[in-house]
Amino acid sequence: MIKLTKFNSDGKKGEFILNAEIIETMEETPDTVITLTNGKKLIVQERMEDIVRKVMVYKRALYK
């Protein structure tokens, strides 16, 4: 699980926890858009590189 900051439709921001296992793709357009395995898209504040690092830390913690 990783903590991210979501942009809501009304422009407000909110932190949430995402299961890193359900991320299918990410792109910067310039906002970071995460597509989940169920097809849902999330727009988040974090840069793509930062999310990749968070996922790597999460996965390393699983296999310690």
Model pTM?
0.86
Confidence of residue 7 (pLDDT cuts 50, 70, 90): confident
> Residue 11 has what pLDDT?
62
The whole-angstrom separation of Cα 14 and Cα 63 is: 30
Q: Which residues are bridge partners to 33 per DSSP?
A: 27, 43
pLDDT for the residue numbered 58: 95
**According to the model, what pLDDT value does residue 44 have?**
94
Say what the pLDDT of residue 32 is.
96
| DSSP 8-state secondary structure symbol assigned to residue 62 | H
Q: What is the CA radius of gyration of the chain?
A: 12
Residues 9-63: pLDDT tens digits? 666 678 999 999 999 999 999 999 999 999 999 999 999 999 999 999 999 998 8
